[in-house]
Structure 1
Amino acid sequence: MTDIALVRVTFDTAAEADRIARHAIGERLAACVNIDRPCTSIFRWRDVVETAEEVTATFKTTITLASALAERIAALHRYDQPVIESWPVAVDTAVAQWIDDATHA
């Protein structure tokens, strides 16, 4: 098994998730992005408990590109403070090779 990184981000709309996903793939920062159905998020923001419908997107990338991907997502994101989570995952060698190939010119 080989490590890759998953980067998960919430967006206010599926259209924004799609727009940023296409940037990430076009710029070879991610091999694939899974955009999930809307979810309900409950969070504290500026000392008020808020509830919002959001869309979660999971980006598949290499460990070495995860930080650059997170920075690019943050630059394109509408939120003042987007929550961008990243962690390594183990995948089989063929999947890791596909992700590596898709993120390198």
Structure 2
Amino acid sequence: MERMLLVYTTFPDAPTALSVGEALVRARLAACVNVLPDMQSVYAWKGAVERSTEVVAILKSREGLAEALGAALKARHPYDTPIILYLPAAGADPDTAAWILAETTPET
């Protein structure tokens, strides 16, 4: 069975994350997108240390869609250089894996 994949990214606000997440779910590139609000970030950017409030989004998908999912995420993302981390899942409950596979398989 294909391995499950989590993709970690951040957005400037929840409405943007939810909008992008919905587009990715509707495109069947992700089965689900969890949006966690009000994260405080400190990061290095263009030679300066910055602070901002962001939201985290965790996308549930499968490894075979990593390239297409990453491209679609970048195309819709408001940041010049969005953080996109691919986190292959070491394992998954069989029912969870079946659901993710079913929701990320193109409809015929």
Q: Structure 1 vs Structure 2: percent identity of aligned residues?
A: 36
> In structure 1, what is the equivalent of residue 56 of structure 2?
56
Secondary structure of the residue that 1:80 maps to in structure 2?
coil
1:35-69 Cα deviation digits (max 9, x unpaired): 01210110111101000100000000011012211
Q: Distance in 2 between matches of 1:95 and 1:50?
A: 38
The residue that corresponds to 2:97 in the other structure is: 96
Q: What does 1:63-74 align with in structure 2 at a 5 Å threshold?
A: 63-74=63-74
Q: What SS does structure 1 have at the residue aligned with 2:19?
A: helix
The structural deviation recorded for 1:92 is 1.5
Q: TM-score, normalised by structure 2?
A: 0.93
Please provide the CA RMSD for this pair.
1.3
1:91 counterpart SS class: coil
Q: Which runs of 5+ in 1 are unaligned?
A: none
Deviations 1:64-95 (A, max 9, x none): 01221111111100100001011111101111
Q: Distance in 2 between matches of 1:58 and 1:36?
A: 8
User: What code does the residue aligned with 2:54 have?
Assistant: E
Q: Secondary structure at the match of 2:63?
A: coil
How many Å separate the matches in 1 of 2:37 and 2:3?
A: 27
Instruction: Give the gaps of 5 or more residues in structure 2.
Output: none
Q: Take 1:75 and 1:39, find their aligned partners in 2: how far apart are those partners? A: 23
